[in-house]
Amino acid sequence: MPKLLDTKASVKPFLKWAGGKTQLLGAIETKIVPFFKARGQVNYLEPFIGSGAVLFFLLRNYKQYIKQAVISDINPDLINLYKIIRDQPLALIEQLSALAETYFSYPTDIERKEYFYRIRAEFNQIQPDAVRKSALLLFLNKTCFNGLYRVNAKGQFNVPFGRYKKPNICNQEVILADSEALQHTEILLGDFTLTEPFLEENSLVYLDPPYKPLSSTASFNTYAKEGFYDEDQIRLKTYCDTIQATGAYFVLSNSDTATSPADISFFDSLYQEYTVNRVKAKRAINANGQARGEISELLISNDAVWQVPVI
């Protein structure tokens, strides 16, 4: 595989992703780094991988502490893309470059929009070619509205055209750097509980489930037709109890459903025996433009399992 002059700097998410954790990296780093220093090399587990903002941040800055990485997600197209990035980056780049070349050959937005919808229709068909499917997904991700991944009840991608002047459809440098970074990463398709066999005392688990909606209109970005509901949040809490019992450390992010400091939110109650920190993040996407801006989100962790200072 070709080596880059600065692969470390290029290790970053290859996807645009609504709800990505770039905004929270500083707070997450504050929680995680003392654990690395106390335990040395650890197994890093990340179900709900999404764009992998936390994974790639750690691989870029703290790779020496990660003995093995295990990631999973219930989205088959996303997991297929991670595997292709890891195992067949050059084949992916070839197909993605061809898609980008065709897209930019059209001089008008109307023609590019028509091409986008042709590619979206192809993506929603059964696609036996895993590399082609991944190239189509990356193309759509870079050219659709706000980088959303949203599906309808049939599981079909239905995000509209994004109207970007010059989207970076094929970022060869990032694809190659991420491929190299992922070489020793186990990639699993399925429910978050699939990572349980990899749990041991020296494990760090970062959990970023679909956030509990703050309103009836907030769940616009469903990326799996199965959805993720309150019973799933409760099931996830049971998994966190398993992590705690193993002696491993977890950090979980979610929405802050409390509307005032005096409120006891769904998560304050559910995770009452654990540490619940509130952190500020900017909301980039909301159906109501006035609701965009800085909001409170939660970082929940079992700090007491290894006596880290609370931030």
> Pseudo-torsion of CA 69, 72, 78, 82, nearest 10°?
20
Please enumerate in sequence order all residues whose Cβ is within 8 A of that of 171, keeping only pairs 6 or more positions apart, or say none: 14
| Residue 60 CB coordination number (10 Å) | 17
Give the residue among 160, 126, 156 at the shortest CA–CA distance from 140.
160
Give the residue among 98, 84, 108, 120 at the shortest CA–CA distance from 169.
98
Tokens 């398709």 correspond to: 189
Please report, for residues 67, 137, 186, the alpha-carbon distance to residue 79 in angstroms, rounded to integers and kept in the order given. 21, 11, 11
> What's the length of the chain?
311
Please report, for residues 110, 159, 211, the alpha-carbon distance to residue 222 in angstroms, rounded to integers and kept in the order given. 28, 11, 10
Instruction: Compute the distance between CA of residue 43 and CA of residue 46 in angstroms, rounded to an integer.
Output: 10
Annotated binding site: 17, 21, 73, 208
Annotated binding site for S-adenosyl-L-methionine: 17, 21, 73, 208
